[in-house]
Amino acid sequence: MSLISDMQVGQAFLTVVDGYSRQRRKTVVDPYDPTNVTIGDWSDPDILPVSGYVHTVTSSEQADDASRSEVISTAEFVTDDTHADIKRGDRIVSGDGRKWTVQGFPAHDRNPFTGWQPTLVAALQEVVG
């Protein structure tokens, strides 16, 4: 038997995921027009722990001038929690403090024959500088 066969027969596959947090800005009622609800700032977001991993897609550096440069990275956040409360505009924050913004609507992959949903994938963008 091969190592893979032994692993499939004798034990479950080892899954390594990291802990992240999902941050969402709270809604704020306009004090001058209580019927108008807007999105607040990032000073006091709602925080939800999520597990998964970030897969970097691209990273590019743009130097506007000698005093300022900007790095734009795109990535994907993948979690096996297909019901994770992640929406466009949210932030995904890693344990070391990196922050990505969710771009667009997260994808819920679904097998058309069985209905199995293995993952939720959210497109991310990080801008530094």
Mean pLDDT by runs of 10 across the 129 residues of the chain is 43 65 91 83 92 91 75 93 93 93 92 90 92
Query: Quick check: is 32 in a domain?
Result: no
Whether 70 is in a domain gets the answer yes
Helix, coil or strand: residue 4: helix
Is residue 83 assigned to a domain?
yes
Residue 16's pLDDT is: 61
Number of Cβ within 10 Å of residue 6's Cβ equals 10
42 in any annotated domain: no
Instruction: Give the pTM.
Output: 0.77
Range of the domain at 121: 53-128
Q: From residue 45, give the alpha-carbon distance in Å to each of 40, 42, 120.
A: 9, 6, 22
Side chain identity at residue 33, one-letter code: D
Q: Sign of torsion, CA 82 79 87 110? A: negative
Q: Is residue 77 part of a domain?
A: yes
- Comparing C-alpha atoms, which of 37, 35, 34, 12 is closest to residue 26? 37
Instruction: Answer yes or no: is 38 within a domain.
Output: no
Provide the domain count of the chain. 1
Q: What is the pLDDT of residue 46?
A: 94
